Structure 1
Amino acid sequence: MSSRPVGRPRMFDRDDAVLAAARLFWSRGYSGTTTRALSEGLGMSTSSIYAAFGSKAGLFEEAVRTYAERYRTIYDEACAEPDLGEVLSLLLRRSVVEFTQPSARHPGCLISSAAMTDAPGTIDTRTYVSELHASNERQLRERIERAHSEGHSGIGIAPATLAALTQTLWHGLSVQSNQGLGRGKLLEIVDAALATLLDKPLHDRSLMG
């Protein structure tokens, strides 16, 4: 008599499972997302979830890291722009586009909502998110400092202050997105902020893909 296989199901799709879990964590928070809800949302037994991810905290960490790394890529690409105005524009506009991706392939800005929980099992994840934000801000500050030293800034704000201001705006846009404000309105906020900082309108650029 053959024994039944133990662990995750044969048709298990890790990407789909992580996205489904991320949606639950985004909407309910870490503590409010029960293992039963995860089991129902992922279509997996609790034992299969634990076999695949180790624990609820392990699944949460993978979900956060999967979507947080997209923002690191946005910072990398934005800071490679030759003009500081385009650095800020690319960073904020592409972040808004990422915040507002269709739910079929994105759970919302998980790192600014469910990630910042005080549940003991997520301390390592909170540390990772904090370090990611610090790394992104440091990269942006260094790029602004380079623009200042080369005389290409055109913005009369100290680099550290401008970087912190941009980060504050980034977090505010993320929160507004989580509260349901649409992409169009968020981009209007970005455009108004950039026009104020740069004292000129930016040329149109297709960032909506």
Structure 2
Amino acid sequence: MAGRTGRPRGFDRDAALERAMLLFWERGYETVSIRDLTEAMGITAPSLYAAFTDKRTLFEEAVEAYAHRYGGYIEEAVEAGSTARLAVRRLLEQAAVQHTLPDRPPGCLILNGAADRTPASEAVAANLRARRARTAALIEARIRADVACGALPPETDAHALATFSAGVWQGLSRLARDGHGRQDLESVVATAMRAWPPSGGE
């Protein structure tokens, strides 16, 4: 007997996910209710549960969509620079642009999506922390490679410098959320890069 196909959903899943992502991006995980989501996505609660299982699963899928559509600059910047210093400068400069684009919510979903968390949303916050930690680890690996090849002084504390750089990256998002524009963020980037030790060949 031929298998039966399910009834069509009746809505564009990708478009609905995009609207959910924008809502989470603007307001964060904790403050967004199912009712908020159904209104933003233009679907009913049963349709939401049928398509996305629950709020947490929807959020995690929204974060993954965000990472692919808007967060691609992160790994690209860290891996593209010829030195760690250039890579981090590119990361921070790109963040200053991305966090302040006029057609999107300010800041970054990965950095601010679970800023206001409760014990019930700790797993969501932990997932975002893990993503941020991966970025810091990529930066640290680039710094260690530069120390090993002599592009950075041998006394460079790779972990401390990577933590500092990741902290600036995260801080740019918070500044954007607080209403600071691109020029302010770029000034922060320039100041932060002056704290780096000199790199050979730059």
TM-score normalised by L of structure 2: 0.81
Structure 1 unmatched ranges of 5 or more = 204-209
What does residue 143 of structure 1 align with? Answer: 142
SS at match of 2:28: helix
Offset of 1:155 from its aligned partner? 9.1
Relative to 1, partners in 2 of residues 1:95 and 1:176: Cα closer, same or farther, differing over 3 Å? Answer: same
CA shift, 1:71, in A, is 3.7
* Superposition map of 1:185-200 within 5 A: 185-197=184-196
CA offsets 1:132-161 (integer angstroms, 9 cap, x no match) = 122211111111011011111259641111
Aligned-pair identity (%): 29
* AA aligned opposite 1:18: L
Contact 1:25 1:60 in 2 (8 A): yes
Shift in CA distance, 74/26, structure 1 to aligned 2, threshold 3 Å: closer
Counterpart of 2:113, as a letter, is A
State the 1:109 CA deviation: 1.1
The residue that corresponds to 1:75 in the other structure is 75
* Cα pair 1:173 1:186 within 8 Å, conserved: yes
Residues 1:162 and 2:175 aligned together: no
Change (3 A) 1:107 1:62: farther
CA contact (8 A) 1:93 1:190 kept: yes
> How far apart in 1 are the matches of 2:185 and 2:40?
30
The number of equivalent residue pairs is 193
Query: Hey, what's the Cα distance between the residues in 2 that align with 1:183 and 1:59?
Result: 30
Letter in 1 for 2:101: Q
Say whether the 8 Å CA contact 1:22–1:107 is kept in structure 2. no
- Structure 2, gaps ≥5 residues long: 1-5
